[in-house]
Amino acid sequence: RKHTKLNRELLPDRYHFDIAAYRLSELLGFHLVPLSVERKVKGTKGVVQYWLENSYSEYTAKENDIKHMGYCSHKKQHNMMRIFDLLIYNTDRNQTNILFEANQDQMVWIDHSRAFADERKLPKNIKRNNIQISPKMRVALLSLTFENLEPIMKGLLNRRQIRSILKRRDKILRLDPAD
């Protein structure tokens, strides 16, 4: 069977990728994607996602010069987000889909509807320089297997997309080799 590459920009958004991102974030122990589940309303399937009350976007923070005072530095939160976006091939990240919880300044990632390409390479538009993988994150990434991803991604991702996550994970781990 011949595999034809499509321009990702021409593909429609897929709601089930938000569910896949939530499940992967939970599996990795990140807990930074809001709870997302599939529901049917009046015969139409879609996603129901936990709404972060009193949150603000990174765009709003920059426009209003809001300083982040969270327990984890802004730089470390961005590093973690870049690793996650590289892993899921999320090329659509922007300042409006990075939220901060008021009074906590903890980053929360939303809108993964264009992620999970079946590309095995890392996306070019996400900065890879200075990626730092903590020992805990390295263990979490290494814990990913086809066997633990397939059941939680059933109906959300196909086998090729799951294998692509694992190939990209291997490439991410090489960005910051363990000492």
Tens digit of each residue's pLDDT (9 = 90 or more) over 96-130: 999 988 777 789 999 999 999 999 999 998 888 88
Round to whole Å and give the CA distance between 113 and 49.
13
Q: How confident is the model at residue 178 (pLDDT cuts 50, 70, 90)?
A: low
Indicate yes or no: pTM above 0.85: yes
Q: How confident is the model at residue 12 (pLDDT cuts 50, 70, 90)?
A: low
Location of structure tokens 């390479």: 121
Q: Which of 73, 107, 74, 82 is nearest to 175 (CA)?
A: 82
Q: Return the percentage of the chain with pLDDT > 70, whole number.
A: 91
Round to whole Å and give the CA distance between 128 and 131.
6
Location of structure tokens 């899921």: 88
**What integer pLDDT is reported at residue 2 of this predicted model?**
47
Is pLDDT of 5 > 70?
A: no
Round to whole Å and give the CA distance between 75 and 33.
18
Location of structure tokens 């300042």: 95
* Cα 116 to Cα 32, 51, 94, 95, 140, distances in angstroms: 17, 23, 16, 20, 19
With both helix axes pointing from N to C terminus, report the angle between 16-28 and 74-88 in degrees, rounded to the nearest 10. 120
Round to whole Å and give the CA distance between 167 and 92.
20
Round to whole Å and give the CA distance between 120 and 136.
24
Specify the DSSP class assigned to residue 113: T
